[in-house]
Structures are given as structure tokens and as C-alpha cells.
Chains A and B, each alone.
Chain A
């Protein structure tokens, strides 16, 4: 089953022998080697069952094909997205003019709202209407999101499994690529950490931008973490159930959300509260122009996260009341 899982990862753009990204870059397929080490004592029945489920899910993750993005489908679904973004989330996106008009660009966002993240919806709608659906635009998402039944339509929007290879292919095609380095760790952070940028030291996006010599455009969103009461990431629970080793899932979030009440895992999603979502796109950062011909990855990472945190603080100061904005 592990062989099958590795094969599935490879098909989906994950290098079966690990990635050029440093450990900790959760959004780009980290901890592969750790998982492959496995145990020499022989798996317990529970571990075998979980690995079976893991393999089944791995097989469900679709083969990453950038051609699956369908501009006509996106265009026809814009009105539905607009209704949801305008009426439910009262979305507001500022600074889209900071994104270069053409050419590849790495959009780096903070991620909020659990598995029903509204900032992605609001931003992708704004991007598609501002630049037109003809501009190639891909979003990297966790494997489990793409494996979830009923979410296959996301591939038509240009959503592909988060891996270094997929990101590289998308940038090489001249597309704009949206990544959320904080990934599952950030999106499920407790509500009282709502106004904190938390990339967990994942610097893969900096190396990606340097390797392809593309600018980084930070995208800061607020409001997503007010769509439910997020209590805990459940990292201990995830470790206990070996989800981190089997599904690259380092969290098993616990929240209070509509309609479930106590919501463990958020696997079935939830109905997000109608919190106002505000997104601010910051000026483009040309890494070599700003940090010299051989930029220090840690320095760039600190600069990006600090700038985003300052913007998030300013957006938080604008908000008078939770949810209402």
C-alpha cells in the first residue's frame, strides 16, 4: 500500500523521494522521507487500517493536469461566486493593481476559515474579474481537499495539489500561482490567534520564487477566522491517530461551527458565519532587485511575513466588531 501511495504522490506532482524544499514546507509535500522511514516493528491493526484509508485517499487525488483549468467554466460560475462573496461575506479586495499585469507571479497568502476558507473564494473571484478568466491562475491546495468527494470542480478553477513540482510547472507556464505556506496549520489556528500570520517557518515559497525568478506578491486577508469559533488545531490528537504520518495532516481541528456544534476534523466542512472578508494585496517584491543577486532565504522570509503581519495588524485595527467587520 505504501508503494501505491508513493506512486499516487508521484503522479500528482510529489517527488516520491522527497522534494528540494526544506522540511517544514508543509504546503509543498514535506515529511515524505519521514513517512517513508516507517516502523520496523510491523504495523498494528489500527495502523494497517489507517494506511489502507490513506492509500485509498492517495489514489483519489487526481493527476495534476494544468490543462484541466477551464476558463469558460470559471466565467460561467462568476455570478454564483459573486453572489456568495458580495452578499454573504461582503468581500472587499484592495490593491489588485499591485499584481503585475502579465507574466508569472507568486501570490503568497495567509489562510483562514478552516476547510471552508472564504478568503480563497473572495480573492479568486476578484482576480478572475480583474484580470479576466483568460489569465492563467492556479491555486495550490492540500491533497485531501482535492481528494474530497464533490470537490472535483476545483480543478476546473485551476486548483492543483500543493507540491513543488506543480508550483514549478504552473510558474513555468507563465501563470499566477497562489500559495498558502501556512497551510493546514494556519487555516485551523484558534480564533484568538486570528490576527497572526503563521507560516510555521515554511520557506519553500521563497526558494520557489528565487528558482523561477518571479516576483512575490503578498496577499493579506482578514475575517476568515471569524466564520466559526476555532478552538484548537488538535495537533496532539492528529499525532495520536498518526494522521500526520499517513495523510500529511498535522492537525485535527476542533471548532464550534454551524450546523454541527462541536466540529472535530472539519472534514465535512461547515456553514461559515457571514463575516466580512477584507483582502489587501501588497506591492510586488522583486527579490533580486530588493535583496541583491543572491538573496538570503531567511531574510526574504522574515521580510514577507513581517510586512504581512503589519498589514494584518492594520486591517485588524480597522475592524470594529467581529463578523460585522
Chain B
């Protein structure tokens, strides 16, 4: 089963990239995620592993995932090592540059249990609305946090420019 959600964020791709590649931020903006812990020597980049869980229905579902694609600041993909089969991807695409910088963000998640048969298919369908809603809320929260940070960065830049002029 594949679910996805998209959103436009008023911030440059690099700023959004810093959010989605920082494992310590996931609990703060990913809805339904109850665990996103570093489980390898490296915290970021290809080969980094995380122990992840998302609450869906009566269970926290997830497992160990590994980053398999890390193309800054455009694509980040991971795949499951243990637990429920899953493949996730962040796609960041620049829409506008400069002062009105905007980034189109897409979050995709494929999940399932190979060999689970018909009931596995039914479970995937039943879980889909909850998972999709989790992704949508996560993107909304990511947008809020990233735009807030962008606004702070812009204000700091303005203050620095004003101080320069005064000097």
C-alpha cells in the first residue's frame, strides 16, 4: 500500500532538508510517530539506521529502517530492515528562490507485510486512512515549524542589516 501527502512550504529547500534529515526532530513534527531513535554509528546519510514506530490502530508499528538514498537537498529515502515492510521518501523540490523562496514537499510511505495474504491486504486498506492522516498532519506541522524558523532567520538577517547601517 502506498500513501503520500504533499505541501508547499515558504522556506528554501536547505532549511526543510535540515528538518527532515535530523532524527532528533522527528518526534516533534511527525504525527503518530512514537519512536525515531538512532540505531547506528552515524546519525545521518546513507547507511544511517533508525528504530521507528508509528501508532496505527491498536499497535505501534514499525521496525529498524536504513537510509538508502541521501541526495542533498532533494531526496531522502529509507527502507525497512526489520519489522513491517516499509519504504519512505522525502522529495523536496524548489519552486521559487530569493525572498519568496518556496519548497514543494512530498512524503511517501509504502508499507505492508509480505506473505500476509488477503487479510494483509485488508489490513493495509483499513490502516491507510489513519496513516495518510498522520502524513498530512506531519507535513502541516513541518510547514509550521520550518516557516517559523524561516521567519526568525529573516528577522535576524534584517536586524543584522539594520545594525550594519547604524554603524
Contact = CB atoms under 8 A, between A and B. Distances in A.
- Which of A76, A92, A129, A132 gathers the greatest number of chain B CB atoms within 10 Å? A129
B58 A90 contact: yes
A30 to B, nearest CB: 34
B82 A82 contact: no
Interface string A79-121: 1101101110111110010000000000000000000000000
B48 interface: no
Contacts of B115: 72, 75-76
A80 B58 CA distance: 12
Interface in B40-61: 53, 56-61
A86 B116 contact: no
B61 to A, nearest CB: 5
Interface in A58-84: 72, 75-80, 82-83
B113 interface: yes
B123 A80 contact: yes
Interface in B122-142: 122-124, 126-127
Interface string B5-43: 000000000000000000000000000000000000000
Contacts, number: 74
A140 B63 CA distance: 26
B3 interface: no
Contacts of A91: 57-59
Interface string B86-121: 000000000000000000000000000111110110
A239 to B, nearest CB: 39
A126 B113 contact: no
A83 B63 contact: no
A132 B58 contact: no
B60 A87 contact: no
A123 to B, nearest CB: 10
A132 B60 contact: no
Given A83-B126, A87-B126, A130-B53, A78 B116 contact: yes
A85 B57 contact: yes
A75 B113 contact: yes
A302 interface: no
B131 to A, nearest CB: 12
9 contacts: A82-B123, A82-B127, A83-B119, A86-B59, A89-B58, A126-B58, A129-B62, A130-B53, A134-B82
- Counting from the closest, the 6 A-B pairs by CB-CB distance are A86-B57, A91-B58, A79-B123, A80-B119, A86-B58, A79-B120
Interface of B: 53, 56-64, 82-84, 113-117, 119-120, 122-124, 126-127
Interface of A: 72, 75-80, 82-83, 85-87, 89-93, 96, 122, 125-126, 129-130, 132, 134
